[in-house]
Amino acid sequence: MNRVKRTLAPYLLVLPGGLWLLLFFVVPMVTMFSLSLQQGDIVNGYVFTGHWQTYVDAITNYQTQLIRSLVYGLITTVALVVMSFPVAYWIAFYGGKRKSTYLFLILLPFFVSFVLRTISWRQILTDDGMLLHPLKEAGLLSPGFHILGTSYAVIFGLIYNFLPFMVLPIYVALERIDPRVVEAARDLYAKPLTVFRKVVFPLALPGVFAGVLMTFVPASSDYVNSGVLGSSSTTMIGQVVQAQALANSNYPMASALSFFLMAVLLTGVFIYARVLGTEDVMNAAAR
Amino acid sequence: MTRRRLGRRDALRLGGVSALGAFLAACGVEGKGKPEASVAPDAVQKFWSGKAKNGKVDFANWPLYMDPKKPELKKFTEKTGIQVNYQEVIQEMGPWFAKVQPQLSAGQSIGFDLMVITNSLQFGQFRNSGFLAPLDHSQLPNFTKNAAPKYAQESFDPGNVFSIPWASGITGIAYDPKKTGREITKLADLWDPAFKGKVGMFSDSQELANFGLLAAGLKPGDSGEDEWKKAAAKLKEQKDAGLVRNYYDQSYVDALGKGEVWLTQAWSGDIFQKNVSDGTNFKFIIPEEGGTIWTDNFTIPVTATNPVDAIMLMDFFYEVENAASLAEYINYVCPVPAAQAQISKDAAAASGEDKTLLTQVAGSPLVFPGDADYAKLHYYVDFNTAEEQQTFASIFEPITLS
């Protein structure tokens, strides 16, 4: 009796979460995958025909946007690692009693809706706005100069919007480092740079890994920043999916694009994990 | 799910992976394509028999389409005792259709008894899916009496079987004369290299296509695939020359205000309202080559719980004074010609700034276009089949999404 209970216990424990995943993850995924292989139109309904051609069309018609999305995602992620590490480092090691206040300040802007914040940037960066207007009046910029509608504006928006998702995991990893380890390295005559390179950075890697996952994936599939801050030459794949699903009711194309993007991102993440050595990262993360 | 989905041919095509295939085939989106059912001669009687007034109506409309104080709705409630729950929930036609389609398809209420639908691609989708209730014209006496006759001949809904207009609007060109330095009079100005990077176009494929067609000397009303390709080439030329700053939705008004664009495709009422509310001095013109006219329409979803109250509200807006009061505020094309005299009368009774404004509205060709104006205005491209519509979308999409 006891043994039965013991063997069943783990399954019972996983049941609520498992059901949740099944209902809200597996079922929609399967539905979407099925839709990507259907043909028809919204008025007459879609019928499953195993039409793989949609995938071919999706990739050939939208390769520019797919590549652009991945490139934007990559630039954003690299910039975020470079920017977030010093911030997280400073808070973790020099934050003192105010650590939580600083973290709160990082998060503060994010209590306002994502879309509203992006639209506010639009107001600031606009051609005759508070930033460019004075510079143009002073003759420092040509009247035709603009930021909105360029790749810079979109990448800037992505970096701004995903910053905390990089700072927080790196902070958590750095926070866990025992100060005595750093002290020991110094005692052994390691120069500050060597301490960072050989001790701090490797120990912070799990945080960087988590941060990259949490920013690269959503940044590559984002459609708000390119929609609000970009122009027709900065279209990202998320916008194409949105247009196909909402404006054209072309559900198979939207599903195929989403699935393809997911496959590409998963492959990318997998390679990244292999290169970094997942075991180390996972072990460190599990500690 | 249905026999059609798992027909013999499909099963054969699936071959070896049939178990997974059958499972996959069972999930999907079902269509409702049987428009004949809703236009059957007894459809009106079938829908309306047994329906009674319930004392409330849920109304879904676009933003900025009524005075925020809603004087007309207050008057309606006083007169009929019907409470109106007015919500500005419609932002774009595509997403709105995508949002309510599953509920309508399942025969469930969408929470609204009245919705304002533009004569866009989606109007056809709503109509052909049988999602719109056929209107009982015996309950629309004011519409019959006061509506301009041309509204009964609209190509998207001849005879107003499913819809009557809320307001119409003109798509033309708006510009900032201080920036352009000269008067803008024609579509060709949108292709003028002098305005490189300062031209705004619409992201809506129909609006964009119409201007491409007119600029290429073609008529949207009787255009087909060949004409669409020519129009797309014309638009592509404009884009490749770096003339277009962006393809906008409603945000073009803001872009014009902030100097992002100097001249842009625009909707008539917006510019009038922007000038009044922000003190700007933008101009709106109907291009020499022609502009387009569209109509936003009252419709009742078939699953409405209070259709009688809804149709009473529809008719209420066709009483001359109510139509006039609405037009005075929104400044879009009013479907009731007699409202012009009413607004002039209101102007005579008013004083100061109100008087100027009302006189302007009554005399404005954007609110009451004359025959000469109408002659320059074109309706949207009509689609007979879903394939045609998809072809159209795929021709113009590479321009806005590249």
- Alpha-carbon distance B50 to B352, whole Å? 51
The whole-number pLDDT of residue B9 equals 35
Q: Which residues pair with A41 in a beta bridge?
A: A45
Coil vs helix vs strand at A249: coil
Do the Cβ atoms of A35 and B399 come within 8 Å? no
Mutate to test the interface with B, among A27, A37, A48, A65 (most CBs of B within 10 A): A48
The whole-number pLDDT of residue B116 equals 96
In single-letter form, the type of residue at position B21 comes to G
CA dihedral B303, B307, B313, B318 (to 10 degrees): 90
Tokens 């000469």 -> residue:
B372
Do the Cβ atoms of B94 and A247 come within 8 Å? yes
The whole-number pLDDT of residue B33 equals 57
Q: Render A211-240 in DSSP notation, one character per residue.
A: HHHHHHHHHHH--HHHHHH--TTS--HHHH
Tokens 């592509």 -> residue:
B236
- Alpha-carbon distance B241 to B124, whole Å? 35
Between helices B307-316 and B71-80, what is the axis angle to 10°?
A: 120
Return the structure tokens found at B16. Answer: 């070896």
- Alpha-carbon distance B272 to B266, whole Å? 11
Does the CB of B128 have a partner CB in chain A at under 8 Å?
yes
Question: Which residue of B101, B244, B386 is in closest CB contact with A44?
Answer: B386
Question: Which residue of B13, B98, B205 is in closest CB contact with A50?
Answer: B13
Do the Cβ atoms of B402 and A249 come within 8 Å? no
- Alpha-carbon distance B6 to A40, whole Å? 15
Tell me the average pLDDT across A95-116.
Answer: 91
Q: Which of residues 49-78 of A touch B (CB under 8 A)?
A: 49-50, 64-65
Does the CB of B18 have a partner CB in chain A at under 8 Å?
no
**Residue B296 parent element (H or E):** strand B291-299
Does the CB of A126 have a partner CB in chain B at under 8 Å?
yes
Do the Cβ atoms of B401 and A44 come within 8 Å? no
Q: How distant, in Å, are the alpha carbons of A61, A154, B253, B256, B354 from that of B272?
A: 40, 32, 11, 13, 15
The whole-number pLDDT of residue A1 equals 55
The whole-number pLDDT of residue B7 equals 35
- Tell me phi and psi for residue B276, to 5 degrees: -70, -45
Does the CB of B120 have a partner CB in chain A at under 8 Å?
no
pLDDT tens for chain B, residues 1 to 402: 333 333 333 333 444 444 555 556 666 566 665 544 446 778 899 999 999 999 999 999 998 888 888 999 999 999 999 999 999 999 888 889 999 999 999 999 999 999 999 988 889 889 989 999 999 999 999 999 999 988 888 888 889 999 999 999 999 999 999 999 999 999 999 999 999 999 999 988 889 999 999 999 999 888 899 999 999 999 999 999 999 999 998 889 989 998 899 999 999 888 887 887 788 899 999 999 999 989 999 999 999 999 999 999 999 999 999 999 999 988 899 999 999 999 999 999 988 888 988 998 898 888 898 888 888 898 888 787 778 888 898 899 889 887
pLDDT band at A104 (very low <50, low <70, confident <90, very high): very high
- Alpha-carbon distance A74 to A69, whole Å? 8
Does the CB of B248 have a partner CB in chain A at under 8 Å?
no
Between helices B320-330 and B71-80, what is the axis angle to 10°?
A: 160
Return the structure tokens found at B353. Answer: 């700034």
Which of B341, B343, B304, B333 lies closest to B51, judged by CA? Answer: B304
- A 10 A CB-CB count for A267 gives 10
Q: Render B185-246 in DSSP notation, one character per residue.
A: -SGGGGG-GGGTT-EEEESSHHHHHHHHHHHTT--STT--HHHHHHHHHHHHHHHHTT-EEE
Mutate to test the interface with A, among B93, B254, B260, B387 (most CBs of A within 10 A): B260
